[in-house]
A and B are shown apart, each in its own frame.
Chain A
């Protein structure tokens, strides 16, 4: 036997595993098949353009308004005021105006189109590992008991910071990260969601946002000043329009620039400032642990610090054997994605079939009884809904006999392979936390890792019901043929 903890380090008993495939750089073989790009299966509520190069929020109406306002006002300025100003004052005015305008547009587009620092959702194995750690920390709790919200405490520069668990993304959020309910993503160093820019403002695009509002305030003041000059000499309809737009913009934009200058110099985010996280009102010893001490270093760090790359790899190809993270919010119901079916060995077929049957079995239960699953990692209590699916946790090797038609299922479900979690997670386990605004879930919950406050009735998708039943029949047929 080769088991045992006290065994000395094994030598040369393993054959070297080829690590060539683990390189993330080259995956030429996937391009030959019609693989999807990762942005096409992205679980958040974002819109992608230019084959994944551009990433924006779902609602972009206000962004177009911003563009129109800037383009129209600047256009009118260059068309009607600049000839007069260039000839009567100096041609440097349109030149400076032009440079400012190009800079403003560049920063706006950069802030709007780039990834703000979205954290990809946890893979099923990661989520399972975190669950195990949480359960180990909290201990098993009886049915009906609602455990405290999942938090971890970390000491950063002498200040205790609480890391919250995100039920949607299934991760403990890093410090300063927050979940945007509009985009349904966790964003690193989350500042705010800006409708004017049509995107979240986070770690990766904060400097573009700040430079945008700063340069826009200069541009607005510039246009305002010279338009007033022009009006004093010659009154014109278009010029009046520019004055009106600039007048109202100046207060808001200059004010906003001032506010963000303050935030940058104290190294805070809008989110932290609004919540008063580091306010001295909270307590005597409360201070900002992220501040570098002086405002120059804070400014330099925010604006000239290294620009981290995007973590979500939008244009990469989806690997067929990679388990996809949980919670696809666009209502994919019963059908497993194509990448799972690419490895249809007998064992996989069996797993698939078992899954279909289980879904069909749980389907009527879901529909008839609004079951709220109480806590506990094993999910044995409460209801028969917990029964079939709970056996698929690693700690539950045996199937209950109540599931009809399963012959090889018992052995299969003793498998500890994370592939099963993958299949289950494809069916959209969704935690709804009272702390977060829930995103609209749409698929069946499978109770493998369901925690504590899931409402199946809310999550049930009636559209997938018929297809589920059909699939379960197919599943039974497959089982009989294995």
Chain B
């Protein structure tokens, strides 16, 4: 390969679309509706911000901001789909809103907002047509197909991002302890701040000096965690009995949830310090795992409550109630995030520099912040079915969080002392987003669409036995038209047919097994080739020795008649 061809690849040095899958998505340019040059200017600003963060704090903290930016782009995409296909047609058939607007609605989501396009209950079940005998828009089908297609697209995007990330970053996790790569491959050339460089050098020398110690983990902590979740469950079951009454009581559930989310992780960190771990890395992983379990249980309990208690209660429009609950959870969680930034970073810096100087500046807690983002995104995904404009609220929330966290980071925090294996952590974040978060949401939505009875008086599915019944009824109507017989055939033989899914699953399992066996075979091949290289090296040394001895023998005066000896060596 010509060196100059290698040095000047076809793409330019711009930031827009590059190796890193989390960098600005091309959709971002078109989706905000502003022209390309303004868009480019905004991207340049973001690029500069990211560069400054990476320069001062390194790639590990930068990965959090890149993840946040990726989620923001994702939400913009979600918002546009829902807005375009559901809200705009609904505006054409909107009923007038007789409620008055007080400021409290921004916090509680109830009141004036109840009769707006924000919630499921406002959407009509009719077929909208403005022009007589013109094209009509079936809101029922539009709702279920938009939401369905959106989740399918999300699934594919997440699956491919995760697979690409795995492919690049998770090669050989069981490799050697990695001292060599730690020394030669992990110096962060991004860092351009003198203090950060000195700190990193000090960390590296400390790491090399420190020996690891052994330790044990106690089962007591596991038991304590289970007790905690039981207690949580009881609290929720008790707490929501009175949330249908006054506006202030509506906020009890979200505030309690956010308080639990905020304070229990501190409890876990404190517990983690009491226990002894083999390596500092294990401490981080265990703390993050506990936080994940906490968040999964909170979301699980909330979903159980919504689907089994609210949905079967006799309230008028349960989907709107669930939507409002999610709205309040998201808003209060956002406020707590800002408060957390204020107390956790700003006040901690004040304390660390004036009152208690040996504490020092706070560090940016990457794991916890990323889990908060994943939790917020999970709530948004659950909320899309009950409130199509939820991604819009999340866009505003994420944008403000980005700015606040950036400012707080620059002013209050110091670069991280621990070494983060950034590529593996980034892949783990994507995996966490996909596996418990997205698949959990899919199961909740699945149960809602297939099993629950929609409310009688509101929403696009009023009067049906389940939301999915809209599709079955549509297929029955299509059976009467010969032109669409193929759609009916696909529906009956591929989508609702168990045999088809059985065959599909079996083939996928067989293919996965074959690929797994190929990988095992290749691992054995790698071992053989490794041995071959070592043996090749030994052969080379042996031949060089032989050459040296023969050359020395040739140089020293040999016995008469010894000239003319031809030495041929096969190399």
| A complexed with B | no
Interface residues of A (CB under 8 A from B): none
